[in-house]
Structure 1
Amino acid sequence: MPREVELKIRLDPEMAELFGALETLREIEPQDKRFHTAYFDLAGEKLHRKGYELRVRDDGDHRIQTLKSGDGVERGEWEAEIAQDAPESEELEKTPAAALIQNVDKLRPVFSLSVNRRIWTLARDGADIELASQIRTVA
């Protein structure tokens, strides 16, 4: 199973401005990304209640459907590039949530975000570490 380890820290906007000045990041050229993300669920928050999060993210070039499972620091993650703005059943059938999502037409958008993200990528001990600062707006 693909695995993602994630640690999120919420900062005041003033502190976020200083993030790029950290000694470790000063010599790394960050990437700036903008994207729109829509989150989907079934009636009664069925996915959420079972520990799943389903989203479609559009970065202007690609649409990526992502299903995440678990809660906290370590999560399962299934991603696929898709052609439309809504989840696609063919890709969801390959995930552990397939039994819950028997009909993608029953999925509804719950909320969406517009995100501006600045990313610094570090390579350490054979792993890529992505540090990101972002500003999100609920759309």
Structure 2
Amino acid sequence: MSGALASEAAASFDAVRPRLTRIAYRMLGSVADAEDVVQDAFLRWLAADRETVREPAAFLTRVVTRLCLDQLKSARHRRETYVGPWLPEPVLETEDEVEDVTLPLLLALERLTPLERAAFLLHDVFGLGFEEVSETIGR
């Protein structure tokens, strides 16, 4: 891949990186895990045939959602699951960001299955239609 193509791919990815990080964080509840998933999505974006992708933001949202679901289902995640009360890691966001997720919403999301959580976040928080949500989570 030439340097120009890589920088173009990076620029298009950086435009949606904050949104992807928020999705991953809200699904996983860990800043470190969210950043790992977003970085993995970036590597997949570099390897993808971007000429065939009509909507990069939708493609990347789907990739991040799938990676989060895979991580939540993995044996490693089950072994590392804390048995006590769960509280999300605090995330400092800039003041100009409009979206605000409160602790009660995070506690409600914790009670959902990973697929239910993904569907809720994609539809209610990020405004995707039901058809897009069903395609993304494969249901």
| Structure with greater strand percent | 1
TM, length-normalised to structure 1: 0.26
Asked which structure has the greater CA Rg, the reply is 1
Give the TM-score taking structure 2 as reference length: 0.26
